[in-house]
Amino acid sequence: MKILVPIKRVADPDNANKIRISPGGDRIETAGLEWKLNPFDEYALEAALRLTEDGQKSKERTGEVVVVTLAPKEADSTLRSALATGADRAIRIDAEDDALDGRLVAKALRAIVLKEQPDLILMGKQAVDGDNNFVGQALAELLDYPMATFAATIREEDGALLVSREVDGGTCTLRVRLPAVVTVDLRIVAPSSVYSRQTDPSFKYNDGVRFAPLPAIMKAKKKPLDVVPLADVVPSLDLASKYHRFEPPAQRKAGVKVASVSELVDKLANEARVL
Amino acid sequence: MSKILVVAEQAQGKVKSATWSAITFAKQAATLSSGSFDILVLGASASSAAKELTGFGAGEVRVCEDASLENYLAERYAPTVAAVAQGYSVVCATASSFGKDLMPRAAARLDAAYAGDCSGVSADGGQLRYKRPMFAGNAFGHLTLGTQVQVVTVRQSEFGVAVPSGGVSAISTVPLTPPGKAAERVEFISMDQVQSARPELSDAQVVLSGGRALKDKFFEVLEPLADQLKAAIGASRAACDAGYAPGDYQVGQTGKIVAPKLYLAVGISGAIQHVAGMKGSKTIVAINKDPDAPIFQIADYGLVADLFDAVPELTSALKARA
Ligand SMILES: Cc1cc2nc3c(=O)[nH]c(=O)nc-3n(C[C@H](O)[C@H](O)[C@H](O)COP(=O)(O)OP(=O)(O)OC[C@H]3O[C@@H](n4cnc5c(N)ncnc54)[C@H](O)[C@@H]3O)c2cc1C
Ligand SMILES: Nc1ncnc2c1ncn2[C@@H]1O[C@H](COP(=O)(O)O)[C@@H](O)[C@H]1O
């Protein structure tokens, strides 16, 4: 199986409470924040590796994993770490972050899919900077491919995937025939979430994502990384969404500590009046 | 003057409560732009759901009823949504898992720009301007969309339940737009509903959430208190990942967004991703044994205690009051 994994680097989500808005409110200042692979894309990459191996022999790849990002040159280090983790090839569509919106990203990815012809496009359900939750579904439509969003488990079948999805009220299971788009949710990296056809159904992965061993980091420097200008893959560079202003959220005023359960009940009943 | 289309959400011919928020948004957007709104409902028994939608001031309730729409699949719904949307300036739905799955797909079909999970709308020189949370709620962006049709999803916790406004909207039918090849390659297998007699997390007045600290005593400890409070039960990601609670209970940036009257966080540290999903709550209570837990920075009332003592004690105290 050949899998394309679109990945995005984002300002480290664990530092998101330190993001600053420029004095005029026209920009979000990312300077000084650490960059990190979008966690959902990290999970998508892990899922892609699980689908292209026998879990018991995770050093041998049984398929190809290609990562692609739309980003400026600084993102090459993100691509290199994905290569070190196990991806075979990387593509960077050269673009400044503020020259992009979800609609343009989906169009560019469509062009890459048409060229690469993967069996599966596996990606995060959302990038945790913009929190848009858009690109996967849009890409599936542009390709006229079936999709399974918010995937919690994936089981490979003959030419198809059985995907259980986290939806309001429970779990929805779909079967998609390849080629298809799947977007992943948090639980996709649990020990029993992803099974390729080679992996024994009783096999259990370690919880979470794998880390690149040191020799792989060296080897990743030699893996192919192609750069494509954005203008070569989209019909127009025009953006259809425009942010005019940013503002910080309203701060909650600091509360009080109560000394006992009875004081809590008293406050809830007589001060907050919520009981 | 905007013409707005609300895509309603229904199951087995009954309107889902998420829909009322999208209607509230549409009313606001219509008022701001001296426009009007219609409602589209799709499904195998959409016409019975349509009857529930006629009292909200919509110009028309448009119904697409077809057996092929029995189980929701974006591949089957998006073509009709996009075809109907052609006549409108804004198409909206609530950002439930249905809205988040369907609307981007419909937007791409229309080559439309998209604003997801909006928390507010205003007018700016004849244009609608959307406000939406980003970076786990640590910033709000104000944006405009530049395509002929704009596609929007709205946050249920920020747009209240629409109230009937009298009058009876006309009901009309729209034909099914045949789906593309994608639909032939996707098959609905099952929907495993988490059975619960409790209120739905997204529109509950009281939410009681538990974290990793509850371990496999999650329900044993929380249910009696939830019963007393008539609360919906929520959870942190750590509690869901560990299997103490179903994934669908997760509150946060990447789970459900809630804004109840009263939110109780029990054994939850207060990571920014969790806080992003509940800091709009009116009153927040935290019970945690670590006095420095970040959750106390946003809690109105904090109790430093072992939850395994404090929760049963709170349950009995409330019982005694009842
Ligand atoms: C991409 C991404 C998305 C995420 N999305 C979400 C999301 O939507 N929602 C979410 O919740 N998280 C989310 N997270 C995870 C988040 O960062 C935290 O890891 C998670 O919220 C922690 O859960 P917790 O508070 O239950 O566990 P912990 O952080 O382990 O906290 C447990 C707390 O329990 C307290 N405690 C322990 N024992 C007791 C006791 N006996 N009595 C009282 N208190 C006790 C401890 O003091 C501690 O504060 C996300 C993370 C990432 C990377
Ligand atoms: N600039 C980008 N480059 C590559 N992939 C992206 C980019 N932006 C978004 N994506 C992909 O689309 C998914 C959803 O992103 P979003 O719709 O922005 O929340 C992400 O998890 C990525 O897989």
Nearest to B265 by CA among B295, B306, B221, B223: B295
Question: What's the CA gap between B239 and A201, in Å, rounded?
Answer: 25
Which of A8, A123, A181 to probe ligand 2 with, by most ligand atoms within 8 A of CB? Answer: A8
The answer on pLDDT for A15 being more than 90 is no
Nearest to B195 by CA among B254, B248, B141, B127: B248
List of chain B residues whose C-beta atoms are within 8 Å of the C-beta of residue A143 = 182
pLDDT at B18: 97
Hey, what amino acid is at A37?
L
List of chain A residues whose C-beta atoms are within 8 Å of the C-beta of residue B155 = none
Closest to A142 (Cβ–Cβ): which among B108, B262, B296? B108
As a whole-number percent, the residues of chain A with pLDDT over 70 amount to 99
Cβ <8 Å between B318 and A265:
yes
Please give the mean pLDDT across all residues of chain B.
96
**ipTM confidence:** 0.97
Cβ <8 Å between B283 and A145:
no
Closest to B142 (Cβ–Cβ): which among A129, A143, A245? A245
Please give the mean pLDDT across all residues of chain A.
95
The pairing of beta strand B186-193 with beta strand A170-177: antiparallel
List of chain A residues whose C-beta atoms are within 8 Å of the C-beta of residue B304 = 257
Q: Is B151 exposed, middle or buried (0-12, 13-18, 19+ CB in 10 A)?
A: buried
Q: B243 vs B125, which has greater pLDDT?
A: B243
Residue A126 CA, ligand 2 centroid: distance in Å? 7
pLDDT at B117: 98
Q: Does B242 touch chain A (CB under 8 A)?
A: no
The answer on pLDDT for A254 being more than 80 is no
Tens-digit pLDDT profile for residues A169-203: 999 999 999 999 999 999 999 999 999 999 999 99
pLDDT at A251: 87
Nearest protein Cα to ligand 2, atom 21: A124
Question: What's the CA gap between B275 and A172, in Å, rounded?
Answer: 27
Cβ <8 Å between B145 and A190:
no
Tens-digit pLDDT profile for residues B154-175: 999 999 999 999 889 999 999 9
Q: Kindly report the nearest CA distance between residue A172 and chain B, in angstroms.
A: 4
Residue B250 CA, ligand 1 centroid: distance in Å? 11
pLDDT at A12: 81
List of chain B residues whose C-beta atoms are within 8 Å of the C-beta of residue A267 = 301
User: Cβ distance A6 to A68 under 8 Å?
Assistant: yes
Comparing A3-7, A22-26, B68-72, the range with the smallest average pLDDT is: A22-26
At residue A253 the predicted structure's pLDDT band, cuts being 50, 70 and 90, is confident
Tens-digit pLDDT profile for residues B52-93: 999 999 999 999 999 999 999 999 999 999 999 999 999 999
Residue B273 CA, ligand 1 centroid: distance in Å? 9
Q: Kindly report the nearest CA distance between residue B229 and chain A, in angstroms.
A: 8
Q: What is the pTM of this model?
A: 0.97
The answer on pLDDT for A216 being more than 80 is yes
- Residue A105 beta carbon below 6 angstroms from any ligand 2 atom: yes
The answer on pLDDT for B195 being more than 90 is no
Tens-digit pLDDT profile for residues A61-92: 999 999 999 999 999 999 999 999 999 999 99
Residue B69 CA, ligand 1 centroid: distance in Å? 39
- Residue B239 beta carbon below 6 angstroms from any ligand 1 atom: yes
Tens-digit pLDDT profile for residues B92-123: 999 999 999 999 999 999 999 999 999 999 99
Question: What's the CA gap between B15 and B38, in Å, rounded?
Answer: 15
Residue B189 CA, ligand 1 centroid: distance in Å? 33
Tokens of B260: 């109840």
- Residue A113 beta carbon below 6 angstroms from any ligand 2 atom: no
Tens-digit pLDDT profile for residues B265-285: 999 999 999 999 999 999 999
pLDDT at A14: 76
pLDDT at B180: 95
At residue A34 the predicted structure's pLDDT band, cuts being 50, 70 and 90, is confident
Residue A249 CA, ligand 2 centroid: distance in Å? 24
- Chain A contact probe: residue of B19, B72, B127, B134 with most A CBs at under 10 A: B134
Count of CB atoms situated within 10 Å of the CB of B243: 12
Question: What's the CA gap between B261 and A64, in Å, rounded?
Answer: 50
The answer on pLDDT for A271 being more than 80 is yes
- Residue A7 beta carbon below 6 angstroms from any ligand 2 atom: yes
How many whole angstroms from its chain centre is CA A66? 14
At residue B194 the predicted structure's pLDDT band, cuts being 50, 70 and 90, is confident
Tens-digit pLDDT profile for residues A119-152: 999 999 999 999 999 999 999 999 999 999 999 9
Q: What is the SS3 assignment for chain A? A: CEEEEECCEEECHHHHHHCEECCCCCCEECCCCCEEECHHHHHHHHHHHHHCCCHHHCCCCCCEEEEEEEECHHHHHHHHHHHHHCCCEEEEEECCHHHCCHHHHHHHHHHHHHHHCCCEEEEECCCCCCCCCCHHHHHHHHHCCCEEEEEEEEEEECCEEEEEEEECCEEEEEEEECCEEEEECHHHHCCCCEECCCCCCCCCCCCCCCCCCHHHHHHHCCCCEEEEEHHHCCCCCCCCEEEEEEECCCCCCCCEEECCHHHHHHHHHHCCCCC
Tens-digit pLDDT profile for residues B203-213: 899 999 999 99
The answer on pLDDT for B216 being more than 90 is yes
- Chain B contact probe: residue of A10, A137, A187, A273 with most B CBs at under 10 A: A137
The answer on pLDDT for A167 being more than 90 is yes
Instruction: Give the residue-averaged pLDDT of A249-269.
Output: 94
Instruction: Give the residue-averaged pLDDT of A227-252.
Output: 95
User: Cβ distance A182 to A176 under 8 Å?
Assistant: yes
Nearest protein Cα to ligand 1, atom 47: B290
pLDDT at A158: 97
Q: A253 vs A154, which has greater pLDDT?
A: A154
List of chain A residues whose C-beta atoms are within 8 Å of the C-beta of residue B114 = 102-103, 132, 134, 138, 241
As a whole-number percent, the residues of chain B with pLDDT over 90 amount to 95
**Helix (H) or strand (E) run with residue B237 in it:** helix B237-241
Closest to A190 (Cβ–Cβ): which among B111, B137, B241? B241
DSSP code for B251:
B
pLDDT at B223: 98
**Which ligand 2 atom is nearest residue A68's CA?**
4
The answer on pLDDT for A252 being more than 90 is no
- Residue B76 beta carbon below 6 angstroms from any ligand 1 atom: no
- Residue B198 beta carbon below 6 angstroms from any ligand 1 atom: no
Q: Does B239 touch chain A (CB under 8 A)?
A: no
The answer on pLDDT for B21 being more than 90 is yes
- What does each C-alpha distance from A114 to A67, A232, B97, B285 come to in angstroms? 15, 13, 29, 52
Instruction: Give the residue-averaged pLDDT of A23-43.
Output: 90
Residue B208 CA, ligand 1 centroid: distance in Å? 15
Cβ <8 Å between A249 and B202:
no
List of chain B residues whose C-beta atoms are within 8 Å of the C-beta of residue A186 = 237, 240-241, 247, 250, 254
Question: Which ligand is the nearest neighbour of the Cα of B247?
Answer: 1
Cβ <8 Å between B302 and A255:
yes
List of chain B residues whose C-beta atoms are within 8 Å of the C-beta of residue A125 = 254
The answer on pLDDT for A99 being more than 90 is yes
At residue A30 the predicted structure's pLDDT band, cuts being 50, 70 and 90, is confident
Q: Does B187 touch chain A (CB under 8 A)?
A: yes
